[in-house]
Every structure is written in C-alpha cells, then in structure tokens.
Amino acid sequence: MDLQALLDDLAMESAPCAAQGKVADYIPALAAVDPARFGLALATMDGQLVGSGDWRTPFSIQSVSKAFSLALVLARDGEALWRRVGREPSGNPFNSLVQLEYEKGIPRNPFINAGALVLIDRLLTLTGDSLGTLRDFLRAESGNPAVDVDPEVAASEASHGHRNAALAHFMASCGNLENPVDRVLDHYFRQCSLSMSCADLARAGLFLANHGLRADGSRLLSRSESKRINSIMLTCGTYDAAGDFAYRVGLPGKSGVGGGILAVLPERGVLCVWSPALDPHGNSIAGVEALDRFTTRTGWSVF
C-alpha cells in the first residue's frame, strides 16, 4: 500500500469538510487558529513516518493529552486507579456536573474533564510534578525535545477555567482530590496547552499500538494494560460521540478541542489528524471524516 498517496488522498477529500464545523471559541487563543489548517500523520510499528498537509505544524493538543496521562498513572497505580475514577461512557456532555454529583464525586471515566483532573491529582501525588512528568514523556516518545506548553494558551485557559474549578472543588468536597485545588488546576491548564504536531503525536502514541513498549524498547505498560487503554479510548475517547466514532471509524481514538485526534491501529501504528473546525460534540469534523475514510479504504478497523 502506498501510504503517502493514501494520506494525500484522504487530506484532499476530507479537508473541505471543515467548512461545516466551527473552531473552538471559548478562549481567544484557540479561536484565532485558521480553520483551513489540515494535517495527517501515520507512524508505523516498523518505523515509518508519513504525513500530509500541515503535519509538522504544532497545535494545542488539549484533551488528546488525557490518553497519555492515563497511561502514566495506570503504569504506576495499576488497577487501584479505578477506585477514584470509573471507566464507563458518560452519555452526557463532557463537562457535565450532573453525573459527577449523582456518582458522589467519582468521575465516570478518565477522559471527561473531572476524570482528567483526578489523573493529574494522582500524578502530582506520585511524581510531585504532573506536567513535568508528562512533558518529559512526550518529548522522549516523540523524539522532539521542543515539545512544550504554549504559555499564551495556558494563561487563556486559566482565565476561563471557572467550570473546571467547579468540578475540582466539587470533587474536593467529596474527598476525591489529594492535592490543593489550585495546584491541580494549574497543572491541568498547562497540560491542555501543550503544543505538538501530528508527527509528534503519532510517534508519541506508538506504545499504545505496540503492546505498551516505549520507543526505547522499555516497557511502560503490560500487554494487557495497553489493550485496556485502547478499549477506554474506543468507548470514551470522543466526548459524547464515542458510539458514533466507534460506528464510523472503528478505532480507539482520543480527540481534543484544538482539533486533533489520535487514533490507534493495534499492532500497526498510530494515526494523528488535525483540523481545527469542530462538530457539535467537540470533535474535529474533517478529522473524523479522514479517519472514517481511512478505515473504509484500508479495512483496518478493529472490528
């Protein structure tokens, strides 16, 4: 299969869908991004890296970061993690307080905002520096030592963070935070503001396709843990549209409101797409389209 030609085709066919979406506008730093940007990169298990469009341009990874947080905490805590966060789809918009109240401060899964706050809280306790631990990991796996927080985005997130503060205070009131609310929020806002390209992300995610082995051959996760992260990405990784994503794309994926989506092809590689215009669920509209076309063409869905 000529992967380069395939990616070029997908880029050409999918990018125009962006016209039907809308760039995230809850913070000025994201609202300013050009909706016409489109990048697509594939990193394979055998070491290839192919891309098309703006695949080397850094963008705000936002919630895509949560897939990596989950891996880092699961690697350290194992199954004990599930006492503090569930692993069921939420069936509700991604920043909902309702379910959190109903379930007494235990977030439904690690990918809704409340769940991500718990991951960061835990990583803070375990390592003393959640953001630093994550950033070091992403630099190592992507091979790009320049991976870093975009300070403008981070400041913008912090100044629009009342809803996440509400979630964190609510969990604190239920006894489900170990660190001070302000500290957890600070690491959260900076984590969401990490800037990476499709190429960076595709390489950084390879351990999820490779049974938990890192780029240097060391083991981060057991074979079984690695599969389990993929299953959570499939059932919970794309906000309130995980069912639709599984139906159309059929791959474990994690999206972010910056327009990025990381999709895992077990035992094959990792695909990362970026297009800033979002559908009403908060997923990149051209990004989902490209992934849908990719699995239709290659047959490489997990089903």
CB closer to a copy of itself out of 140 and 165: 165
Catalytic residues: 63, 66, 188, 239, 257
Question: Is 164 marked as a binding-site residue?
Answer: yes
CB closer to a copy of itself out of 50 and 70: 70
d(CA 125, CA 138): 20
Minimum Å gap between C-beta 225 and a copy of itself is 10
Minimum Å gap between C-beta 219 and a copy of itself is 17
CB closer to a copy of itself out of 241 and 278: 241
Question: Is 142 marked as a binding-site residue?
Answer: no
Farthest CA pair distance, the chain: 55
Q: What are phi and psi of 23, to 5 degrees?
A: -65, 140
Residue 187 corresponds to which tokens in the numbers above? 């690491």
Point out which residues pair with 52 in neighbouring strands.
Answer: 40
CB closer to a copy of itself out of 13 and 129: 13
d(CA 287, CA 277): 9
Question: Is 23 marked as a binding-site residue?
Answer: no
- Choose among 234, 251, 126, 139: nearest CA to 195: 139
Question: Is 98 marked as a binding-site residue?
Answer: no
Minimum Å gap between C-beta 263 and a copy of itself is 13
Q: What are phi and psi of 63, to 5 degrees?
A: -75, -10
Minimum Å gap between C-beta 4 and a copy of itself is 25
Q: Which residue has the tokens 């900076």?
A: 190
CB closer to a copy of itself out of 176 and 197: 176
Where are any strands of DSSP class E within the chain?
Answer: 22-23, 39-44, 49-53, 59-60, 148-149, 194-196, 253-255, 260-265, 269-274, 277-278
Question: Is 226 marked as a binding-site residue?
Answer: no
126: helix, strand or coil: helix
- Interface ranges with a copy of itself (CB under 8 A): 86-92, 96-102, 108-109, 162-163, 165-167, 169-170, 172-173, 181, 223-224, 227-228, 230-232, 234-236, 240-244, 246-247, 250, 252, 266, 296, 299, 301-303
Point out which residues pair with 149 in neighbouring strands.
Answer: 194
Residue 73 corresponds to which tokens in the numbers above? 């905490």
Minimum Å gap between C-beta 231 and a copy of itself is 4
Question: Is 188 marked as a binding-site residue?
Answer: yes
Query: Annotated binding site for substrate, which residues?
Result: 63, 113, 157, 164, 188, 239, 257
